[in-house]
Amino acid sequence: MFQFIVDTLLRTAELSLVALGLSLVYGLVRFANIAHMQYAMVGAFLTAAALKMGMPFPLAVLFSALVCGILAVLLHHWVFQRLIGAGAANAMIGSLAVSMVIIALMLGVEGSSPVSYKLAIGSNWQWGSLRVSSDECWSLATTLVIILVFNVLLFFTPQGRSIRALASNRELAAASGLNANAIVHTVNMISGMLAAVGGSLIAMNGSAYINQGNDLMLPVLAAAILGGLGNPMGAILGALLIAVTETLVTNINWGWLYGEEMVFMPTTWINAASFVMLLLALLLRPYGLFNREVRRV
């Protein structure tokens, strides 16, 4: 039971930062940016490159976050801002094209082989059947701190109030003197940084690889939609629900059903189980479990 809880929290941490950034941007620009998941992949490779240059891991993650934040701002300013004028559907399709371009460029630069961070081997702890590593604890703690800091900034600072005001009513916020373009660019910077940190933390416990963004796409979109697109805190709860579903799929022993000692579902069923849950949720709450506002997606 405790291992199930730990595995669920670790998977939640992997999804939450990327889903948080995606939902935050959607609240302002009203389209799901498919390329957002590739920021996590680019951030993971940038962290690996910074480590090769001799940077300590925290500084390498900060470096990759800043670069990905700037990349997110530039892409929004030069590409997505123009596509949005043609409609949310065009912008979403355009973001898919940008995603493919980013993958092709990274494939040309890094190749198809995974890149390991080659960090010092951390400690592994075991209490009964519970196993956890120091790297996993560090990743979980870092994610929790970032979410808490983000929550404070969003709900208890003037800048956060400006973001929420713009997300709630763009016309009224502009009439009140808020600089909408500056706020949108700032939010894109933050979302790109969050995605890069999330991708780097995932790669820390595995490796940086080209398909990392694609592997995150389905569960992150499911988490953001479950939480109600445009609701950043809801995206974290959505990530928790997706993590619970995925962990159940891989941890439940179905041996009693087949008369065997141990029978587990194949890991290829993970995404299918997540989207069954998403489908059931959307049948009951079409605009997400934690979103009261009716939106057209």
- Where along the chain do its domains lie? 2-112+131-284
- 196 closest CA partner among 62, 47, 65, 38: 65
SS3 for 125? strand
In b/e form, how buried is each residue of 264-291, taking b as 16+ CB within 10 angstroms? ebeeeebbebbbebbeebbeeeebbbbb
From the candidate CATH numbers 1.10.10, 3.90.1690, 1.10.3470, 3.20.20, the one assigned to the domain spanning 2-112+131-284: 1.10.3470
Residue 291 confidence class, pLDDT cut points 50, 70, 90: low
Residue 261 confidence class, pLDDT cut points 50, 70, 90: confident
Question: Phi and psi for 70 in degrees, rounded to 5?
Answer: -65, -40
How much is the pTM?
A: 0.91
Q: Which residues pair with 131 in a beta bridge?
A: 126
Residue 296 confidence class, pLDDT cut points 50, 70, 90: very low
Query: How many other C-beta atoms lie within 10 A of the C-beta of residue 137?
Result: 15
Mean pLDDT, rounded, of the chain: 88
Query: What tens digit of pLDDT does each residue of 265-286 get?
Result: 777 777 777 777 778 777 877 7
Query: What tens digit of pLDDT does each residue of 175-203 get?
Result: 778 888 999 999 999 999 999 999 999 99
Query: What tens digit of pLDDT does each residue of 7-35 get?
Result: 899 999 999 999 999 999 999 998 999 99
Residue 1 confidence class, pLDDT cut points 50, 70, 90: low
Residue percentage of the chain with pLDDT more than 70: 95
Query: What tens digit of pLDDT does each residue of 148-181 get?
Result: 999 999 999 999 999 999 888 877 777 778 888 9
Residue 288 confidence class, pLDDT cut points 50, 70, 90: confident
Higher pLDDT, 278 or 246: 246
Question: Phi and psi for 208 in degrees, rounded to 5?
Answer: -85, 130
